[in-house]
Structure 1
Amino acid sequence: MTDDSVPDHRAPAPAPAPTPDLRASDADRERVAEVLRDALAEGRLDMAEFEERLEAAYRARTYGELTPLTRDLPTAAAAAPPAPVSFTKAPAESGSWASRIVGGEGSSAGGVAILSGFERKGRWTVPKRFNCFAFMGGGEIDLREADFADREVEINCVAIMGGLQVTVPPGVEVVVRGIGVMGGFDHPRDDDGPPEPGAPRVVIGGFAFWGGVGVSRKVTRAEQLRLKERRRQERVERRESRRELQRERHEGRRELRRERRDREY
């Protein structure tokens, strides 16, 4: 016989693991995408395999479809279903600007292209000052997935009969101060709105002679796939909404005909 006044300190039974056919959320798909990006940066996946898996991740509907995409990667546990979260407080975003301003030194101090080319893209750390030079060659500086050594970084570009391309993500403040002689510096469009709070400031300066420095804003390929998938889902939802409206109208007409027949008889 037990005494009801004595509290039971036994731990509750663990919740059952989600089944493979459980529907996955956007956060689950993004978690898998982050694992794939890290694997690409570490050389575990080539670009073709990365793009194939990333597209499959954003198409996935269930945990069973997500799990095989990271099963052979060291951080495959990141693709597992997340623990239950509280809806009283939103978790901080792992990709927030605060997490991308890491301090310290950059992973690359500059790039040189003489009758050749260079590129800095993917996961890398932009130093406080990045110097690049192109003579009858070209270079690509892609900041979309980069971390930043400081809240303000400077990219000094010198292009002589060559070209340099700087790509920044939306939300970053960009200031262009370069001088062109029979050449020029592009200015990115500001139709994405004002800079996001906490975003870094990128100052692009230097000199272009018979050459050019291009500056553009673009989202990452992963984000392009996400937006493409979102648009597809919206089209599906609109089609379903139209079908539902047509069914309701059809049912209404049938009900109206039924009422007319009842009045006639």
Structure 2
Amino acid sequence: MDLEKHPSAPAPAPAAELRASDADRDRIAQILSDALAEGRLTSEEHSGRLDSLYSLKTVGELDVLVRDLPAPGGGARQQPAYAAGTPGGPVSGPDGPVETLVAVCSSSSRKGRWRPGAHTRAVSVLGDITIDLTEAVFEQQVTEINVTCVLGNVEVLVPENVTLRGYGSGVLGNFEVRGEGSGETDPHAPVVIVRGFALLGNIEARPKLGARLVDLALKLRKRLEG
């Protein structure tokens, strides 16, 4: 009598073929920012690689962006950047807490003199959220804001001399990044990335006219040196 044959479980995909997570992209973005600050990349190279970062799909593709750069801490890279968290797999979550703003049939705002972390999450459901970075104190070069908006409105304001980038979409709604900012003329200027999805809602990010951060290059150079 023949023994019943059970199909074997499919072999797990190689680490390089795994779909990239937000944490994977965050780690690569930090490596690129460090390379820019150290003079290993020009502002044009940094901008081009950062644009590619959010269009690539797998962790192996992300690693190509930093293959010619040293690992965090200055040592030689011994393993792919995406494997820095657990051996042979994608990285763990980003360091530091993620600040979350939620507005459900209400309003919420963050403004004035505050220190945004590397990651901020905003969720609006029939509510209004304002994230005003015009007086913020940036302690890292890349600041990412992830927005989910359903039947609501989310507005992000940045200084004129901060580089502003947007990656998102809307379904019967609006996702709009108005103006790239003038920060690209200064390779040491902070970069604000707004990623979002709007369903019957509105997400808008733009520079605030007349609002500027002063001496960006000097402040960031001092922070990197000390």
With the shorter chain as reference, the TM-score category is: 0.3 to 0.5
Question: Structure 2 length normalisation: TM-score?
Answer: 0.48
Query: Which has the larger share of strand?
Result: 2
Identify which of structures 1 and 2 has the higher relative contact order when contacts are C-alpha pairs closer than 8 Å and 6+ apart. 2
Larger Rg: 1
Query: Which has the larger share of helix?
Result: 1
